[in-house]
Amino acid sequence: MIEKLKGHIPDVVYNQLQSVFDKYDINSELRIAHFMSQCSHESMNFTRTTENLNYTSAELLAVFPNYFHVQNPDDYAHQPEKIANYVYGNRNGNNGSTDGWDYRGRGYIQLTGKWNYTACNKKIPSPDNIVNIPNLVAIKYPLFTSGWFWDTHTLNLIADLGDTDAVVSSVTKRINPALNQLQDRITKFNFFYDLLK
């Protein structure tokens, strides 16, 4: 079935699909289409594997309103490391210091936070250690960690519910509770599902 994806996604992604799909039971047209559409959206069509935190003041207020309604966004604008340490510090197992930056979002579905890096590290199929070398998520394991995230959030069960916009929305809520850019995710799902059928 995955051979239908060849030529529509980068070869580096295609070549890792079967092993990730086998490990995480992403094994039906629905599951594959939902997984691929979310990965594609989150990574800007598989072109980004690291979270872009280079925000303007206005973008900080829009993306992180709970944090920047009390802090002056002008003090953080266009300072990705400072933004990461403020927003992600003391959250998701980060102990403050530089953990927010060190364990920022990486992968096609972004793995974020030291807890998640630590939990996922136990499943990495090699002696590599993504807690000690977090950038491995971006350069070596962007698809594997996305599969791990998918599995730990039981997204196969939601994907099995069907091909409607409502199901795409339900999958999206587990990845991005704010439902950011839902229409693009729906469009991508329809593309992959039509391709696989």
pTM score, two decimals?
0.92
> With bands split at pLDDT 50, 70 and 90, how would you rate the model's confidence at 160?
very high
| Domain boundary assignment for the chain | 2-49+137-196, 57-133
Contacts for 122 with CB less than 8 Å, ≥ 6 apart: none
pLDDT digit string, tens, across residues 92-128: 777 768 999 999 999 999 999 999 999 999 998 888 9
Contact by Cβ (8 Å): 5, 14 = yes
pLDDT at 72: 87
> Which H/E stretch holds residue 170?
helix 165-175
